[in-house]
Amino acid sequence: MIYFKDKEQYVYAYTKSNIEQVSRLTELEMILSEKEHAYTDAYNVLQAALLELNEAIARYDLTIASEELNEDVSEFENDVNVKTANYNIALVTFSKIESEYLPIKSEYDEIPSVFFEIRENINVMKKMSQKEVDVYLNPPISKKQLIAETEQQKQSLLAEANNAIAPLQDAVDLGMPTESETAALQEWKKYRVLLNRVDTSTAPDIEWPVKPNI
């Protein structure tokens, strides 16, 4: 994906193929601007040659049909031949230009309108640097979010401490703790006190107490 940013800092992403199609669109317009003039000129020359040929044929036919046979028919016949040759040359020239022009025009006409819109967009937007893209895709965690995540971790650790303390406290309350249970209870209670003192508002600068290993 290729990312762009507008003046309001809104981000737009386009695929590489999208951008390539936009480039091709611009390329086609440049080619068409060059070939269209040649195509139009060749077409006009062909039409003019056709008109002259039809007029020459009409004059020849009129002469043949005339009752006065004194006129030199060969002159009109030669004129038809000349105009036919001119028309054939114009037709060959036009056909060559048309064979180059029409495929380009057809490709251009078949481009979906969305690519014209994409081109308009990227022309007024700024392409984002890789660093900007990385920040956009992986935005830094906000202070509020850091505090919330730290508070959640704190509550999870407190729940773990409470679960560890509960059976040990039962043993003490019933007057039947072992020495290791008494020691463990003290360590877990100390740990729980230190956990409760953790100020999550200082996240991410948190120094977590060490969990008892007993």
Q: Would 212 be classed as within a structural domain? A: no
105 and 119, same domain (yes or no): yes
52 and 127, same domain (yes or no): yes
Q: In what order do the strands lie in the sheet with 126-127?
A: 11-14, 2-5, 126-127
Q: Which domain holds residue 39?
A: 2-137
Query: Which residues, including other chains, have CB under 8 Å from residue 141's CB and lie 6 or more apart?
Result: 149
105 and 167, same domain (yes or no): no
- For residues 177 and 171, the answer to whether their CB atoms sit within 8 Å is yes
195 and 89, same domain (yes or no): no
Q: Running along the chain, 214 residues long, what does each successive block of 10 average in pLDDT?
A: 92 94 94 93 97 95 72 84 97 96 94 94 93 88 92 96 95 94 96 96 93 86
pLDDT recorded at residue 68: 57
Query: Which residues, including other chains, have CB under 8 Å from residue 179's CB and lie 6 or more apart?
Result: none
Q: Would 209 be classed as within a structural domain? A: no
131 and 161, same domain (yes or no): no
pLDDT recorded at residue 37: 92
- The Cβ of residue 56 has, within 10 Å, a number of other Cβ atoms equal to 21
Q: pLDDT per residue over 79-115, tens digit each?
A: 999 999 999 999 999 999 999 999 999 999 999 999 9
Q: pLDDT per residue over 125-134, tens digit each?
A: 999 999 999 9
pLDDT recorded at residue 141: 86
Domain count, the chain: 2
121 and 157, same domain (yes or no): no
